[in-house]
Amino acid sequence: MLKPGGRFYLFDIVFPSRETHLPQKIDEWIATIETMADARLAEEAVVHARDEFSTYDWIMEGILTRSGFDIDAAEYGQGFQAVYVCTKR
């Protein structure tokens, strides 16, 4: 719970819906996980990408704004890592 004006920082995996060739890039991301970690973690990433639609940018941003936040900054990096800095309305 934040007071109005409070700051919220979120770091998570978020898929950018405007990314060209997104399915191919997700496959590459999963292959990297399998190489760097193991098959079990890669399978969890498959389930995450296939079933957990809350991790797409337009859904995440909607959740934040409907929860009473203004998104001050949204940065999308390699490996679908996203950072949001928000202020509570």
Residue range(s) defining the domain that contains residue 27: 7-88
In a domain, 12, yes or no: yes
| pLDDT at residue 70 tops 90 | yes
Q: How confident is the model at residue 78 (pLDDT cuts 50, 70, 90)?
A: confident
Query: The tokens of 13 are what?
Result: 């995996």
pLDDT at residue number 84 = 98
pLDDT at residue number 52 = 82
In a domain, 1, yes or no: no
In a domain, 72, yes or no: yes
18: number of Cβ within 10 Å: 8
In a domain, 2, yes or no: no
pLDDT tens string 14-61: 999 898 999 999 999 999 999 999 999 999 989 888 888 778 999 999
What gap in Å lies between CA 89 and CA 84, rounded to an integer? 15
Domain count, the chain: 1
How are beta strands 7-13 and 81-88 bridged, if at all?
A: antiparallel
| pLDDT at residue 79 tops 90 | no
